Amino acid sequence: MAINLEVPKKHRPLIEQAHQVAMNMLRPISRKYDIAEHEYPKELDTLAAMIDGLNESGASEGAGASGVGRGSKVSEGDGVKNGSNMASVTSIAEMCWGDVGLMLSFPRQGLGNSAIASVANDEQLERFKGTWASMAITEPSFGSDSSQVSTTAVLDGDEYVINGEKIFVTSGERSDSIVVWATLDKSLGRAAIKSFLVTKDMPGVKVERLEEKLGIRASDTAVITFTDVRVPKENLLGSPEINTEQGFAGAMATFDNTRPLVAAMAVGVARASLDLTRDLLAQAGIEIDYDRPANLQSAAAAKFLQLESDWEAGRLLTLQAAWMADNRKPNSLEASMAKAKAGRVGSDVTLSCVELCSSVGYSEAELLEKWSRDSKILDIFEGTQQIQQLIVARRILGLSSSELK
């Protein structure tokens, strides 16, 4: 099977609709909620209801974070499938052309929802349908190395008892449930790490505080503690078996689907910066000529062309990772490549656009300075730039995590 680089025809109406929402509903309130950190964007309730309606009707084919999934099995002769993963990355990129923080604040579109879609069984997918799930991985003792999870889940009868502390939980206050990564047995290492659906009303769940941040300020980021939280054993997502042969692969399968989503966010915000910068340069009398070599144009135009080419590379890697997921092809390498490239490009492009536009880029007269702040987190969460490069190196060289640290 070969990937076609054109946007799938069936997804074009969805992408156009997402673009209209980004332009007419997200952009106008972008600055408002950047300033009013921790204030819930009530305008998103209407949009969330619209997305729910599209998902129920099947018109969106599962667009958004909750739409990612393992995909149906593709057999020989079935042809190429452009499914929910492709719909999700393309629509999310358009939404982030409007505002990343607001997109992350959409009800029922948290990263925990994509984790559920990635690893839950069919019964769980139906039971947890409609929940708004944040994802809790990072702890005070570690950042990017998810294998160091120390939050514990101890089976007691028909329930798991969860104890631990999670930090930097996106939508941690606003969500109604949390996908918590915890270990069943620390002595068994990575293989014992599982994810659990914990609802906020369970005794022992406490939002300790909200973080004040550089960017994505419209999105709430919380510290949450779990003290003797009793969770039904049926809320362990996927298989409860500890497979030491498989190791950490089961838990990491979540990232194969969520990392392209974060890459799509970076693609969207970088595109917004490029579009506005092109307009501002044109107003200053600097035209970008795509028919002339960069070295024959002004320094600003040459720099812009270089930024656009970098952006295109990030976009194509993101589409490839999503396409592979839709077609049931192993995409761990490609997901990390997309996240690494798009994350780095997002930061480079947005900050370079601030520089190209000089005082206009640095002031609050335009959203360029905000986009440069928002984009930085996209190079950090869901695995930092350095971690992605390490994963890519391991995959290419065929080395284990113990062999290449």
Tell me if 275 sits within 8 A of 23, measured CB to CB: no
Tell me if 195 sits within 8 A of 238, measured CB to CB: yes
Q: 193-199 and 177-183 as β-strands: parallel, antiparallel, unpaired?
A: antiparallel
Strand, helix or coil at 320? helix
Whether 39 is a known active-site residue: answer no
Residue of 37, 56, 382, 403 with catalytic role: 382
Count of CB atoms within 10 A of residue 219's CB? 26
Count of CB atoms within 10 A of residue 56's CB? 9
Q: Which of 141, 87, 102 has the alpha carbon at shortest distance from 24?
A: 102
Q: Which of 272, 402, 266, 275 has the alpha carbon at shortest distance from 342?
A: 266
* Cα torsion angle, 194, 197, 201, 206, sign: positive
Count of CB atoms within 10 A of residue 214's CB? 10
Interacting residues of 330 by C-beta distance below 8 A, sequence separation 6+: 324
* Torsions phi, psi for 92 (to 5 deg): -65, -40
Q: What angle do CA 312, 117, 260 make, to 5 degrees?
A: 15
Q: Which residues are catalytic?
A: 382
